[in-house]
Structure formats: C-alpha cells, structure tokens
Amino acid sequence: MDKSTMPAPFSSHHDWYTSTLSSLSSTDGIAATHLYTYRHVLDGFSAVLSKSQLDQVEKMSGYIATYPETFGHLHTTHTPRFIGLKKHAGLWPAARFGDDMIIGIVDTGIWPESESFKDHGMPPVPKRWRGACEIGTAFNISNCNRKLIGARSFSKSLKESGKIISEHDYDSPRDFFGHGTHTSSTAAGSQVQGAEFFGYAKGAATGMAPQARLAMYKVLFVNDTYESAASDTLAGIDQAIEDGVDLMSLSLGFDETTYTHNPISLGAFTAMEKGIFVACSAGNSGPDAYSIFNGAPWITTVGAGTIDRDYVALVTLGKGITTFKGKSVYPENLFISGVPLYYGQGDKSKEICDHQSLDPKDVSGKIVFCAFTNDSDPYDQRIEVNRTGAAAAIFATDSPQSLDPYEFSFPFVAISPNDGEKVKEYFASTKQPTADIKFQITILGAKPAPQVADFSSRGPAPLSPWILKPDIMAPGVDVLAAWAPNVPFAQVGNNRLSSDYILLSGTSMSSPHLVGIAALLKSAHRDWSPAAIRSAIMTTADVVDNTNGVITDMATGKPGTPLDYGAGHVNPNKALDPGLIYDIKVDDYTNFLCALNYTRQQMVAITRRLNYSCECATLDLNYPSFIVILDNTNTTSYTFKRVLTNVANSKAVYMAAVSAPAGMKISIEPSLLSFDGKGSTAEFSLTVEVDLEGYGMQQSYIGNYGYLTWYEVKGKHVVRSPIVSAYAPQPQQS
C-alpha cells in the first residue's frame, strides 16, 4: 500500500489497513482476516481474502500490489540435496552419516560456539584419537566437545618472519576471519534448523558428514593480508597426522614450483602413505588454463561448480508491462514500488554509469538503469549510483553470477543483456517510466546446474601435466555455511551486518564438500585407500547438468571440458558402489617422482626414503583419467597401462566402450575384462593417437576429449574415465 495516501482520521497505517479490511463486503458472509501489519520490510499487510474481497482492495485508493501466498519447505544448505544425499537411502545411511570418521581442517581456525559444532546425540570421542584442544587467546579446553574434538594453532614461523598478527585476530584456534568455520561446517557440521543469510537460503543447514568429528589446525592469520607460513602449514599437517585424523581438507595454496617446495604436497604425501585422504582446493585463478594449485597426484584436487539455487530480485516495468528476474542478494526484505526509472540514454558514460557520470539532481530517489556494454562493470556502477542518492539500480551485465553476496550493500539487481534491451524498449515507449523491485527471493531448481565456476582453476597442472587435474568438481558457488559472527559480512548503507551463516564462493568451499563425501565413503569402506576413494568418486561422476546437457562453463557459456571439471561433478551415492576402482600404491608415486628426474635430495625430501629404486620410473600412474600431452609433431601417440580392481561382492565381466572426438583415435586391449570376485584385478592397455594436421588443429588447441567406459555385462556398474589431449608447459625440474 501507498501509506502516503492514508486518510487523516487514522493514527497509524495499521488502523487504516484493519479498517479497510472490515469494510469489505463478502458474498459468502466470511469476513477478511488480518494476519500481519508490516512496519519495516514493506508498507502493507497480509490477509486472508476471497476473490471478491481482493477485487475490492485492488480498486481502493493507495493500493499498489498484491502477492499471493507461497509456501516454503525445510531444506538443507541445499548442497547435500543437490548432490543426492538422502536420509533413508544411499550413502548417508550406508555410512552412518560419517560416524567415527575424524576430519582435519587446515584453515583460519574455528568459531566453536556455532550451532554447527554442537554435539547433541553424538557418541563418545573415538579412543584412537590422540589430539588435544589447546588453550590460547579466547579459547580453552571447554570449547571442544564430541563434535569438535581437537583444535590447535600454528603461528611460530609467521611471527618469527616479522609478520605481526593483527590485534583483531586470535593467536589461538579461534577463527577471526570466518573462513575455517565455513569450511568446517560444510564438511561435517551438525544439523542446524533455521539457518539463513538475511532471509536467503532459509532451511536446515548440515555438513556432508554430519556425524563425523572435526579437528581444526589453524595456520592462517591476519597480518597485512591473510597468510600462512609454509613451515607453520607443514607443522599443522604433521600434527594432524600425529593426532590421528582420517581425512584432511586444505582450502589454501602455495606457489607451484616443485613438490619439494610446497608444504601441502610434502605433507599430503606422508598423509597418503598413512592412509589419510587429502582433498585440496584447485585454486581461484580460472578461467585461464594451467592455473591449477595443489595438483600433486596424491592429492584429490577439487574444482568449483554452481548449484541449482539462485538469489534474485523481481523487476516489474510499469504496471506489469514486463517482469523478469535478476541476481540480487541485497540483505533486506525490500519492496520498491512505482519509483521513477532513470536511464541516461544518448550519453554513453551515463548509459554505463561510469565514475562521476551521473548528476545527483537527475537520479536522486529514482531507480537508475545502467545499460550493458563491453566496458561496463557492475562493481564500479554500484559505487557511482550509490554516490548519487538513487533509490535502487538495475545493471545489465553478462556476468551476474560473478557478483558476490557482500557486494550487494546497495539495493540493486543484475540482469542479463537481453533483459536490459527490454528496459531500453520500455523506456523509449513511455513518457513516465517506473519500475518495481522486490528483493530477497530464493529460487530452487535453477537451470542449468551445475556449471563450472568462472573462477575455478583449470588444467593442465603446471608441475605434472601428465595427470589430469582437477580431479573432480563439487559445489563451490554461494554455499551457505557457518561463520564467525564477530566479522560483519553484509552491509546496508553505512550499517555493517553480521550473521551466523553466510553465502561464500570459491574452491575453498568445494574442497570441504569433497572431503565430507570422502569421509562417508571411508566410513562405509574402511579398507579403501585414498586412491580407491578418489577413483570411486571420479569414475561415477556426472558429466551432464540438470538439463541433461554437457556441463557448461560460466566463463564462456559454452560446454566445458575435463580440463575445467575433471571427471565431472561428484555423485556420492554412485560412488558408494563403483564396481571397479583404479588403486595406486606408495611405490607407484615414488616411480612417478623418479620419472620427473627429481634429484636424490628431492626424492628423500618427499618420500623420506634413503633407499629407493627408480628402475620402474614412469609418468603413467594407475590414475582414473587419461591425458595425452601433445608435442610439436603433427601426430602424437601414447599407450597407457592400467589395472582395475573389483570392489563388488561378486564375479563380474566388463566390456569397454570408447567415444572419441575428431582427430583422436582410441583403441583398447583387451576390450573385455573378467573378475573372479572381490579384490580380483585385471590389466588393460589404452592407446590414444591424436592427428593434428589431418583436422587442421593449431598449436593453441587444447582440451579435445573423449571417454573410456567399462560397462558391466548383465550388471549395473558403469566405470567412466575422461581421455584428454592438450598442450602443456614442461614442469620445472630444479
């Protein structure tokens, strides 16, 4: 309602609304029922009305708009549902929700008071646990419980390097930044009812493995930036191994020089050797090729994808002439109605709302529309429009999904260039253009999803391009998880807002998703090695989205490739029963390092072995994916040798099928494999020949791919591996 039209006799708009409702006639004798009067989120009320009563209200002075009631349902943070986890079927119950698994998170610390780390109903801490809860600034032993069973902090090297920890941060396991709290709750947070981010993504939040235990190893601290010393990081990994974690997740990275110079690569090798599964973020340096971090073959490297949940505002031009949605995460339940629309057409600088291009006299109190051009930038536009005192803004952009929730400190909505053209057409056809914008809308079932996040780092891996990286893609865009409430994350005007749960994007979010799923698999299959778990995840991954099309790349809008998303998007229920796995032993990784021509010093640094043999040196690991590195000749051919292990409880026969793109010829020998029972193995060879000249391909060509799929004869199992050809830089061999 337009409360400025409230008649003088009423002392409040509440009285006006209730009086209006009482005056409505009814054909069935049932009076209109008043529910709520809204005093802040909008000017109006909610009521139960018959159709005839609604018709009467819509004809009254002051009426603006009516919205029919909608119904929400309790959801998780939604990523468990999106990837198929269910309470009563599949991996969750089979793994007892990750019971008895211990996940070590190496990150910025943890906020132990979060509801996500409550231990209600959890059994005693496993007796094998050797960890501790360290006392430190604003942190003591009582902060740990049967969920958060360990917490330690590592800052000695950082301080010794002359880096002064900010007075705001805690020299203890307590999280100041919030990042570690977010990743921890994503991996193994307990179920929390009523989680939300300022009205968005409402529901019940839960981690991937809600019955698993958590141990935090804080290695990142605020100084000039957020940094972690390599030796502190390595100490954290080392302590996690000593404490007895079953899995680790690290959402941080170091420069990719050699594996000996990377504390994560070094520590993860030892963890793998002791049967500890390690997942790491692939990095946020996409969409450029060769931008992978944490690409060591003994690490499961995780890229980031979107989910089928969007946060939008509804834009209506005029009196319902045109309605469309755009991205917005403005943290208020705001409805702006009938506001004049401003568009500085004819002046290019005003069209795109460049710095100092708008006059406050022209736009104050209006909705400003900023058209799309190749030069437009929503970040700069937001600053400019906010400066002028406008009521709100509509920005046309080709990359609305790249806007982070914290950027919506001003009420604006980002729409597509096509919808931007509709705004132009409406403005040109109307003397007094107006618009409505309704904020704080969450949409489920958005399509297409998943998509490869534009920021997600892409392969090939700089240090070891012979191993396809990333390995897998998991949710990493606008993920709702716990946060440190002392850190404001949103803003309305000059008011900074805090929340117990926030939406965050990055491969930092995808790695804890994956480690939580790995915890479920390890709980269900205690005898599986880290390589077996990775293989099960990779060979059962999804390569199509929810439109049944090839997973697309947000950065280009075109179909992605395994260099973007690895083996595909994780499907945890399928990974529970993969049929066959590609296993890798410690000696196989040692042979791989030998083939890199690493010096004795380097070999010992990584493997800690004084006596080793390089007689079987090879770059061809028993990996669940294949990549051919092209040379400078017109034709490149390579033969891979692999061993498959049956992990099903029965005999089986598998038949091979290959799909190859133009310019790639794939042959397999043998094409039929027989397995006697669980634990039996079978070998095969796969030869890939790439002909560049015959298909007019250029030196810049990268990412042509096919698939090898093993189908169980008269069975249900399907084991799929990507086959990619690409140019890659030679790794550094210092």
Chain mean position to CA 314: 25
Joined together, the tokens standing for residue 103 give: 């996940």
> What is d(CA 240, CA 276) in angstroms, rounded to the nearest whole number?
10
Instruction: Compute the half-sphere exposure of residue 175: CA atoms within 13 Å on the CB side of its CA.
Output: 30
* 107, amino acid identity: D
Residue 288 DSSP class: S
Residue 73 annotated in active site: no
* Cα-Cα-Cα-Cα dihedral sign, residues 82, 84, 87, 93: negative
> What is d(CA 84, CA 242) in angstroms, rounded to the nearest whole number?
34
End-to-end CA distance of the chain: 72
Residue 179 annotated in active site: yes
Q: What are phi and psi of 323, to 5 degrees?
A: -130, 135
Q: What are phi and psi of 255, to 5 degrees?
A: -55, 140
Residue 700 annotated in active site: no
- R_g (Cα) of the chain, nearest Å: 28
Q: Measuring CA to CA, which residue among 706, 665, 663 is closest to residue 688?
A: 665
Query: Which residues contact residue 9 at a Cβ distance below 8 angstroms, ignoring those fewer than 6 apart?
Result: none
Catalytic, out of 179, 513, 525, 569: 179
Q: Which residue bears the tokens 């994916």?
A: 625
Angle (CA) 280 284 287, round 5°: 125
Q: Measuring CA to CA, which residue among 332, 41, 334 is closest to residue 197?
A: 332
Catalytic, out of 190, 251, 456, 508: 508
> What is d(CA 101, CA 80) in angstroms, rounded to the nearest whole number?
18
698-730 burial, b at 16+ Cβ within 10 Å, e below that, comes to eeebbbbbbbbbbbbeeeebbbbbbbbbbbbee
Joined together, the tokens standing for residue 423 give: 């705004």
Q: How far is CA 45 from CA 4, 7, 381, 509, in A?
A: 15, 17, 34, 39
* 516, amino acid identity: G
Chain mean position to CA 579: 28
Asked whether the beta carbons of 21 and 36 are under 8 A apart, the reply is: no
Q: What are phi and psi of 543, to 5 degrees?
A: -115, 5
* Cα-Cα-Cα-Cα dihedral sign, residues 145, 149, 150, 151: negative
DSSP for 564-587 reads HHTT-B--HHHHTS-SEE----HH
DSSP for 17-57 reads HHHHHHT---SSSPPPEEEEEESSS-SEEEEE--HHHHHHH
Catalytic, out of 107, 243, 436, 583: 107
Active-site positions? 107, 179, 508
